[in-house]
Amino acid sequence: MVIVAIVLAIAPRTAAAAPCPGNPDALGTERVLEADAKSTSRVGRKQFPSTLPLRAKELVLTFDDGPWPGTTPRILDALKNECVRATFFLLGGNTAAHPQLARRALTEGHSIGHHTYSHPLLDHMPLAKAEAEIDQGIAADESALHGRARTTPTTPFFRFPGFASNSALLDRTSERGLLVFGADVWASDWELMGPERQLRLILSRIEKVGRGIVLFHDTKAQTSQMLPAFLRELKRRGYQIVHIVSSGGNTR
């Protein structure tokens, strides 16, 4: 029943494929999925029973912890060069410090999600304190992106720092209409490694799962260095990118 509900709540939105300026062989963004956060409360098989209804070799790219000078611009450059759209889960503290980078991600068509203000693990905090941390992050993001420090996000996507949630927090995010993202595969880019090793690692993990939500961190130099080669290799191996947006929100 859970899987059926998710499939019904997330519908494809077809967009006319356009050439990628300056890169006719770009990976591109194959299609868009609209998520109704009020009906679909959580996705990602690393943490939850179900995930997005993706076809074989379809991936949703996500980036946590930014925006950050140096690394986020390189990642945005790589995505732009391949006409790939992703989802950025912003830390409110970083957004407040670097609002122009958050606005660039939004302007270039990426979806914006929220990741608290300062990245504490919320699962052992009192519920009220945890929710205040979530609200502070959303308010900082909304202020930078839309000029209004509100706690109801324009795009209701949220990811727990360290995936550290509990039943009370998940119930509360569901009540608020937030779609909680886990992941289906991650690059482990919080571990120190070179870009070549990271490329091999994430590709091997993707080959095992075949589809799903991919987690990176746009604060990591190794990820920003690896990403152009990663996108080209996805193209070579026949993978396609899906962009997830909110049916009730606005990513622009």
Q: pLDDT tens track of the chain, all 252 residues?
A: 233 334 334 555 544 457 899 999 999 999 999 998 777 789 999 999 999 999 999 999 999 999 999 999 999 999 999 999 999 999 999 999 999 999 999 999 999 999 999 999 999 999 999 999 999 999 999 999 999 999 999 999 999 999 999 999 999 999 999 999 999 999 999 999 999 999 999 999 999 999 999 999 999 999 999 999 999 999 999 999 999 999 865 443
Domains and CATH numbers, the chain: 2-12+30-246 (3.20.20.370)
Helix (H) or strand (E) holding 101: helix 99-107
Q: How far apart are CA 137 and CA 244, in angstroms?
A: 21
Rounded distance between C-alpha atoms, residue 132 and residue 207, angstroms: 39
155 and 115 in contact (C-beta within 8 Å)?
Answer: no
Strand partners, 198: none
**173 SS3 class:** helix
How many Å is the maximal CA-CA distance in the chain? 52
* CB-CB contact of 93 with 139 (8 Å): no
All residues at 6 or more sequence positions from 100 whose CB lies less than 8 Å from its CB, including other chains:
none
